[in-house]
Structure 1
């Protein structure tokens, strides 16, 4: 891709990127090499986007709606490990299949909601047997918990977020801390892809609709593959401890 266009995309991402860490800018620049213009068409890896490449909102929008495809590549559709995740996936798939540009923002939001919910469900699976909540020298064992219920429990008990541990580890109450916790089950490219995707999801959820988003079914497939890989890694680690 022409350097100036790649720089526009990179600068746009860096302008809103939270949870930044050393090396983000270099990683983003490297992965944007997968976005190219060929014969007046925009390509992300091998997927063509029929947009006006002179329209920066369209070019940036295509990139922001297809972070999984840019960072990981086109992966096959994966079976998801929970009904919640499958429901979100199905909604995103239906929205994309309609090929209605007025629904692109919502479809993109659903793809990235799938990724965020994947992190929440991953944590829920880890504490599903028993969650031992430790706070200021006292502990209580809670049954049938998940991430949402634990967050509600902490809030209702007015606990300081800095003093809570669940099963011996700090409780990842915020989105950023949940992502940091989940990094232990990710490859490095996945970390960057999740980080940027969650940031775009947050902007969309708050009505920040500055770009002409253009999500692809390939990005949805890849997102499902990425989420499923987290659970595979959790299972492998759990089996290794037995």
Structure 2
């Protein structure tokens, strides 16, 4: 007779499956990763794996949603680190880079792969929306406080594009090793901030001009 697992045990097993799947998908891509290979690493047959995830698409969806949530948890915690908006924005940039280098497979699942909208579960859509909100909320707060001037979404995307580009280049070993990553990151963010800085914030921003 099969042993019935509790909800907590099922959740633990699903998490273990996602951890293995995350590495396979990041390494081989959504098309190259196979349920059989994922199951073999766990020591199962593919049939056992299908008891927890009905398809590879479902597993990919759940694995990406979980990666998004971990990423968002880090960004949200950084955003609660202090009342000063410049300090908060710097903490968010630090948290973003820390997550990328600490969890490169999860970072790749979040930003290197995409799925058709029809294949996304409500959980994945919600996780993506949460991450997008957290990546722009602090910039909206800075614009509303008069520290930056311009469209908050455009400024946030500029910060993100530069930070993501530097992260990817660092992961690929393409950056000059003589230039510390954080120095490049803060310099790039400083340039964006200078372009978006509100005139009335020039004194404060000049002291701490590197949000990300």
TM-score, normalised on structure 2? 0.31
TM-score, normalised on structure 1? 0.28
The structure with the largest strand share of the pair is 1
The structure with the largest helix share of the pair is 2
1 or 2 for the larger relative contact order (CA 8 Å, sep ≥6)?
A: 1
Which protein is bigger by CA-based radius of gyration? Answer: 2
